[in-house]
Amino acid sequence: MSVGRSFGNAVRRNRFKRRVREAFRLLLSTIPVVEPLDERGCYDLVILTRPHDDPEPDQYERWLGDAVRRLHAQWNTRLARGN
């Protein structure tokens, strides 16, 4: 994981990375498997961020979980249409 200097000083960047890693670890068992995508059945996630105030640690888990659910729903919609 890489976070640019424009996000803040090293302490802020490392705190952000720790919180995102922890959120991902907590969500890992709930992330849906993608059946027809490939033999691995997985997504590649790219998280883009801009400087922001530090939210509560569990907020990252909610944001990441919401994003993954929306991504999976969108993927299933595209598969159903044949795109």
Domain ranges of the chain: 5-81
Q: What is the pLDDT of residues 26-83, one digit of tens each?
A: 988 887 766 655 555 566 778 888 878 888 878 989 998 898 889 888 888 887 887 5
Instruction: Write out the two tokens for 3.
Output: 């976070």
Per-residue confidence band for 18, with pLDDT thresholds at 50, 70 and 90: very high
**Length of the chain counted residue by residue:** 83
Q: Is 16 exposed, middle or buried (0-12, 13-18, 19+ CB in 10 A)?
A: buried
Which pLDDT value is given to residue 37?
56
pTM above 0.85, yes or no: no
The string over 45-64, giving b where at least 16 C-beta atoms fall within 10 Å of a residue's C-beta and e elsewhere, is: eeeeeeeeeeeeeeebbeeb
**Helices within 5-56 (DSSP H only):** 10-27
Which pLDDT value is given to residue 10?
94
